[in-house]
Structure 1
């Protein structure tokens, strides 16, 4: 997970009360799904505010500098912001996909092995679609392929 993703996860996870399942409550009950819908919608709203902030910032800061070094610095700053917003745009799509999974009652189970992902893992990374073991295995495989 990149530093940006970790920062975004902290933003998403920082403003909620951890879910406490009731005695005998089944995994991914209506209340549990509502908890994650709330987290995901808040996260999406925060990301959308960032997009608006970036647009406003770029409009306010746009200037034609006579000095080529100043112009290059500004263009580099804008390029970095746009790259970050592109990552956030992709994350918003993933949040929308996750919200659809919740609506379809398919949320919370590993897409590879079918076991419960777990409430705490989902609170840490609400868009997680793999259990810890499958995600760990996928990362190991990715590292091996990357070195080849």
Structure 2
């Protein structure tokens, strides 16, 4: 019965941020997604064992390798997402979920609903992305010639 209420519940901005109900909502969302990912990885492993890697035709073999490479990349992303979900579940248990790891400010419900494994606020995430891409903005306050 409690699980049904959580599925029907949708966090809103007009309630206390990261209250018990919101934390439980995100915990259920994360656990559900984790179960789906683990099942997907298990299915991939089963299919990989059943796939005939050697094909007599070079074109078929090349196509098969391309497909396998794409599937392995997908599996790698899924495994990374499982680690991110585990970390988010730890943060829920520690009551740190929903707050930026860097600044301590609220990440925000809209961002968490879109990306439940988010660990940084939008502003901090954008700053890190700008630094990583090398497009830092520098302000020149004065210039002496």
Fold conserved (TM > 0.5)? yes
Name the residue aligned to 1:80: 70
TM-score, normalised via structure 2 length: 0.79
Aligned CA RMSD, in angstroms, stands at 2.2
Q: How does 1:1-148 map onto structure 2 within 5 Å?
A: 18-20=10-12, 25-144=15-134
Gaps of 5+ in 2: 1-6, 136-145
Runs (4+) of structure 1 exceeding 3 A deviation are 15-18
Calculate the TM-score normalised by the size of structure 1: 0.78
How far 1:58 moved relative to its partner?
2.2
Q: Quickly say closer, same or farther: Cα 1:17–1:64, change in 2 above 3 A.
A: farther
The verdict on how the C-alpha distance between 1:34 and 1:64 changes in structure 2, with shifts beyond 3 A counting, is same
Higher relative contact order (CA 8 A, sep 6+): 1
5+ long unaligned stretches in structure 1: 1-14
How many residues are treated as equivalent by the alignment? 130
